[in-house]
Amino acid sequence: MSIVTDLLAKPGVIAAGEYAYRGDRFSYRGALSEEHARMASIMCRATTMSVNMEASMLESLEPLNGFMPPRGWLVHGPNYSVCVVANVFCLLDNSNSSINEVVGFMRQALANIPADMI
């Protein structure tokens, strides 16, 4: 099974997808329109690129900290959360999802994804 399929099987995951680091394509499954999924993938890619730049800068100024290379990020809102690890994103309904489980699963499943395309 693909990681997107695995994520969609988890409680509270509304939609999940992948984007190319170079920004020329994306794919998704779940309860989002194509246009909204496109927007989500663009925002997720932009934030991923940004946190990678920031972590690189932090590493240059303070070497051997525990952030480099960054694995992902998470935005937690009142009802929904967005979780991104590597180039995979998912949208969560906070009322019936476990952030710890989703982050743990994504970190493990995507541990060997190369980041040299960033």
User: Rounded to the nearest 10 degrees, how much is the dihedral formed by the CA atoms of 33, 98, 87, 43?
Assistant: 50
CB nearer to another protein: pick between 54 and 117: 54
CB 83 within 8 A of CB 10: no
As given in the structure block, the two tokens for residue 56 are 């690189």
Given 22, 24, 34, 100, the residue binding another protein (CB under 8 A): 100
Q: Among residues 47, 56, 109, 118, which is the contact residue for another protein, using CB under 8 A?
A: 47
Interface region with another protein, contact rule CB under 8 A, candidates 2-10, 22-30, 79-87 = 79-87
